[in-house]
A and B are shown apart, each in its own frame.
Chain A
């Protein structure tokens, strides 16, 4: 009887461990949901794994953004199996052979098994306990699944016919997607094996990739930036709804005390009819100054796309890009022309952003802005500067910023660096922060919060 009780206790431990790991990744889960998850396990049973995954996701998660993190954590706490695969470490060429066949057939179960064998055979490193482990990077580096594309294509063509069919032009992309999926399987398998060695709580906290909206802009890889770009449109829609709600509330207005009292004189001093303060219809204008140099560019590109997607909320949006010289890029962002993927490259190719040298110079760029485009900033304008304020020890030109801030209705600075780094090295952030409101804006989540709060309505 005691083994049954042990198994139950172990299951409860597993569930609370899973919940703890998810909480560590910023998913907010209350005790009530954990209890629901327990009831879901009871209703579904442990016989099958996929219904269990869906059941736990349904009870524990509240949004779509958390699903990627959940899947990785679930694989650690409810693994498909334990230990290595039964077969011994296979030969690399033989493994590639079988992988090509599996990719051609699009056989998911076989691919998963091959991923397990590949990690087992090619991914191990170290020999002493404590320093050994399993590496997905090493596995993929030795196996090189991406080089199988041509072979798989030939296999599929040979089997299905000549390749004259219309849908055959999709084949390359389909195979690439299968290979990408296989890479994901290898990564999951390596994580599972390491977790067996090191304890899953630790691995679940450290080795699971965070969801896209929590990735630091400055350290985001190419894939993560692509994923972020896909969130621009839905995010913009959400922000537009929120702005519209704020605008409605603002339109209701507050009581105009002077005119209410004045009106009450006709009713003997009793304010029968409260008079609301009329708001002047403002037409908010937006000016964006974006540092597009090096690592900051991921942040700038994302913000530019987001603001452009929100353009119908404003009477005018103008976007300027700079490295050490500044140029207007509003035209490059227009709908239809904006191919989000190549945006950064196009801006660098078509706008004059550098002169003399290639590193960023905030003082020079902001000074040039005040000189050439100063008229763009008026009493209705809200200005956002996007950048890390690292000005390579050149003059920060504080005077130009002071003048611009005086001209504008609002002037904000969004800094993608964490606050504790402001002022270190060549950062002029504290100098600017004295003059204008500077906000830390490291992730898409922070950015959407800030935009919802700061944008004028």
Chain B
């Protein structure tokens, strides 16, 4: 056996381990999830805390859906912070493919290597250029290699093409990736996986089956007040309550784009910057554009809230 082949087995040492060693779970109970997420500044509703706890216990990926701006991506970041894990993020977009999601060979470097070693045989060169040194790992491969804890965030999964879902199926059900030249890489330590979706496309049933499903809706009044208090600490208690009530009323209306939590916080910040101490007609009229993004919506809301002509 020649020297180079000898080196091969330790390219992916973990490949030959038994996969799926049970690890110490991240959380001890549902309340533990809420408490520790709250420490990082993420206030979780009971539904969110329960589902995160289960995703950790059952070792399944978590598919999070919900309107824009309710904290889907933030959830993944908060879990990573709590677990002391590295966040590996795959941002999906139309046309994302295997070489962006999984791995790619570094062609330029391979060419350099071939032209540098002119005197060796083809077999030797081939063995060498398809080794780990020339592999560019992309998020999915990165997430399942290595022994350190990781959180894999696959953001806006619905933006990716249907073909990418097929790719995700192998990764998410078995936590393994097949690189034809190297063999199959299996995770020794499963990452905590979060997929987010805005539901602009129906994800395939096969993908959904492999995940726990969590819908993050708008928070209830009590939770939203706590969020505003946490993010905009300077706002008075009375004003916080008024802001949350008005936003709640707007959400009940039939608007093209209802305000999300992100808009509530923006509005609270705006009011703080304006130095308002109570919510009155003038203030609301001046700042309605912060929470509503369509002219029709602003008109409709103004009619509803009895504001004078805008």
Which residues of A, 40-99, contact B by the 8 Å Cβ criterion?
A: 40, 43-44, 50-51, 54-55, 57-59, 61-64, 67
Residue B296 CB within 8 A of the other chain: yes
Residue B106 CB within 8 A of the other chain: no
CB neighbours (8 Å) of A61 from chain B are: 213
Does the CB pair A169–B208 fall under 8 Å?
A: no
Q: Which residue of A lies closest to B199 (CB)?
A: A234
- The stretch from B8-16, B143-151, B248-256, B259-267 touching chain A is B248-256
Pick the contact of B51 from A54, A245, A341 — CB < 8 Å? A54
In the complex the two chains form, what is the Cα distance from A220 to B54 in whole Å?
Answer: 37
Pick the contact of B200 from A33, A230, A238 — CB < 8 Å? A238
Q: Indicate whether A59 sits within 8 Å of B215 (C-beta atoms), given known contacts A233-B256, A238-B199.
A: no
Q: Which residue of B lies closest to A61 (CB)?
A: B213
CB distance from B292 to the nearest CB of A (A): 14
Pick the contact of B209 from A50, A62, A169, A174 — CB < 8 Å? A62
Pick the contact of B57 from A43, A177, A242 — CB < 8 Å? A43
Which residues of B, 38-77, contact A by the 8 Å Cβ criterion?
A: 46-47, 50-51, 53-55, 57-58, 60, 65
CB neighbours (8 Å) of B58 from chain A are: 36, 39-40, 43, 59
Does the CB pair A30–B54 fall under 8 Å?
A: no
CB neighbours (8 Å) of B200 from chain A are: 237-238, 241
CB neighbours (8 Å) of A339 from chain B are: 300
Q: Which residue of B lies closest to A108 (CB)?
A: B220
CB distance from B306 to the nearest CB of A (A): 6
Chain A interface residue count, CB cutoff 8 Å, equals: 43
Residue B17 CB within 8 A of the other chain: no
Pick the contact of A169 from B161, B248, B305 — CB < 8 Å? B305
In the complex the two chains form, what is the Cα distance from A336 to B30 in whole Å?
Answer: 45
Does the CB pair A166–B278 fall under 8 Å?
A: yes
CB neighbours (8 Å) of B256 from chain A are: 233
Does the CB pair B295–A336 fall under 8 Å?
A: yes
Does the CB pair A67–B215 fall under 8 Å?
A: yes
Pick the contact of B54 from A44, A166, A174 — CB < 8 Å? A44
CB neighbours (8 Å) of B249 from chain A are: 170, 173-174
Pick the contact of B208 from A36, A63, A166 — CB < 8 Å? A63
In the complex the two chains form, what is the Cα distance from A336 to B294 in whole Å?
Answer: 9
CB neighbours (8 Å) of A50 from chain B are: 46, 50
Residue A32 CB within 8 A of the other chain: yes
What is the predominant secondary structure among interface residues of chain B facing chain A? helix
Does the CB pair A167–B50 fall under 8 Å?
A: no
Pick the contact of A335 from B30, B53, B296 — CB < 8 Å? B296
Q: Which residue of B lies closest to A36 (CB)?
A: B58
What is the predominant secondary structure among interface residues of chain A facing chain B? helix
Q: Which residue of B lies closest to A234 (CB)?
A: B199
**Chain B 196-226: CB-based contact to A (< 8 A → 1; otherwise 0):** 0001111001001100111100000000000
CB distance from B282 to the nearest CB of A (A): 10
Q: Indicate whether A58 sits within 8 Å of B213 (C-beta atoms), given known contacts A169-B305, A238-B202, A340-B254.
A: yes
Q: Indicate whether A166 sits within 8 Å of B279 (C-beta atoms), given known contacts A30-B209, A238-B201.
A: yes
Residue B124 CB within 8 A of the other chain: no
In the complex the two chains form, what is the Cα distance from A166 to B241 in whole Å?
Answer: 12
CB neighbours (8 Å) of B20 from chain A are: none
Chain B interface residue count, CB cutoff 8 Å, equals: 44
Pick the contact of A55 from B51, B201, B215, B306 — CB < 8 Å? B51
Does the CB pair A32–B254 fall under 8 Å?
A: no
Pick the contact of A59 from B202, B212, B280 — CB < 8 Å? B212
CB neighbours (8 Å) of A350 from chain B are: none
CB neighbours (8 Å) of A64 from chain B are: 65, 199, 215
In the complex the two chains form, what is the Cα distance from A158 to B95 in whole Å?
Answer: 61
Residue A23 CB within 8 A of the other chain: no
Q: Which residue of B lies closest to A32 (CB)?
A: B209
In the complex the two chains form, what is the Cα distance from A190 to B252 in whole Å?
Answer: 27
The winner among A43, A44, A67, A245 for most chain B CB atoms within 10 A is A43
Q: Which residue of A lies closest to B65 (CB)?
A: A64
Pick the contact of A167 from B53, B213, B214, B246 — CB < 8 Å? B246
Does the CB pair B209–A43 fall under 8 Å?
A: no
Q: Which residue of B lies closest to A448 (CB)?
A: B202
Q: Indicate whether A341 sits within 8 Å of B201 (C-beta atoms), given known contacts A54-B51, A167-B279.
A: no
Does the CB pair B54–A58 fall under 8 Å?
A: yes
CB distance from A243 to the nearest CB of B (A): 11
Q: Which residue of B lies closest to A39 (CB)?
A: B58
Residue B242 CB within 8 A of the other chain: yes
CB neighbours (8 Å) of A177 from chain B are: 252
CB neighbours (8 Å) of A36 from chain B are: 58, 60, 212
Residue A223 CB within 8 A of the other chain: no
CB distance from A255 to the nearest CB of B (A): 22
The winner among B50, B53, B212 for most chain A CB atoms within 10 A is B50
In the complex the two chains form, what is the Cα distance from A59 to B50 in whole Å?
Answer: 11
Residues of A within 8 A of B (CB): 28, 30, 32-33, 36, 39-40, 43-44, 50-51, 54-55, 57-59, 61-64, 67, 165-167, 169-170, 173-174, 177, 229-230, 233-234, 237-238, 241-242, 245, 335-336, 339-341
Of the A-B pairs whose beta carbons lie under 8 Å apart in the complex, a sample of 28, sorted by A's number, is A30-B209, A39-B58, A50-B46, A51-B30, A51-B46, A54-B47, A54-B51, A59-B54, A59-B212, A61-B213, A62-B205, A62-B208, A62-B213, A63-B208, A165-B242, A166-B242, A170-B245, A170-B248, A173-B249, A233-B256, A234-B199, A237-B200, A238-B199, A238-B202, A242-B201, A336-B296, A339-B300, A341-B254
Q: A40-B57, A51-B46, A336-B295 are in contact. List 15 more A-B contacts (CB 8 A).
A: A44-B53, A44-B54, A50-B46, A54-B51, A57-B47, A58-B214, A62-B205, A62-B209, A167-B241, A173-B252, A174-B245, A233-B256, A238-B199, A238-B200, A341-B254
